[in-house]
Amino acid sequence: MGDALVEASVPATYKSASSALAVDWTDHETWSRPRSAEDPEPANDPDASFGHAKRNAPGAKDYLFFGYYAGVATMVGDERGARVPELVRRIAVHAPRIDPAGVMAKTLLRLRDSGVALGDVLADCGYSGRQPATFAAPLRGAGAALVMDLHPNDRVVGHLRGGDLCQRCLYCPATPKALLDLGPLRRGRAQKKRRRTTTSSPS
């Protein structure tokens, strides 16, 4: 029922306009307070659980919350394709004790089973470090092409057969070191200006 309600919000003109999706999840606190370990009674919202909330805003700190994760799959334009409105194709709400990447994979497989082809699936590093058997493998088996940001611990720079190895790809040894050191783009105009300056500098 939930999938049908979300799909009903997508106009027929755009249902096959793109096969690319961007996925992510966010935290949603419940109205219920958690019970203490000494309290034998369950929380008033027994389906909720503790989860980790990550904040990317300057000065914001990560923290534990009691509630749910809400995963969203949003339509984006195909590479070299026409621009499309970023319409939500699927939503999945679940307790944080359940792997959000696995829930998203099952959600996208249901989308595929409904007749929507899966193309590129864009995901951040919250997905790239998950168990392949629950996220990457089933989606690739369904025809999706995963485009995932690597976790900072996976951005290793090394050398292999005369070339530079960076982010699991081989680059020419003449590649400027500043380009190999680029990480995810942080928020703020200063960071964006630095990225443009670095990538446009002559080698």
184 band by pLDDT with thresholds 50, 70 and 90: low
* Distance from C-alpha of 195 to C-alpha of 203, rounded to nearest angstrom: 15
**Alpha carbons 72 and 183: distance in angstroms, whole number:** 25
- Largest Cα–Cα distance in the chain? 66
pLDDT at residue 10 in the model: 92
As a whole number of angstroms, the distance between CA 104 and CA 56 comes to 22
- The structural domains of the chain, with segments of one domain joined by +, span 2-148, 155-200
C-alpha distances (whole Å) from 105 to each of 28, 33, 101 are: 20, 30, 6
Residue % of the chain over a pLDDT of 70: 76
In the predicted structure, residue 58 carries a pLDDT above the cut 70? no
pLDDT at position 23 is 96
Q: Which residue has the higher pLDDT, 171 or 160?
A: 171
Q: Which range has the worst mean pLDDT, 79-83, 112-116, 168-172, 193-197?
A: 193-197
Q: How confident is residue 129, by pLDDT bands cut at 50, 70 and 90? A: confident
pLDDT tens digits for range 77-106: 998 888 999 999 999 999 999 999 999 999
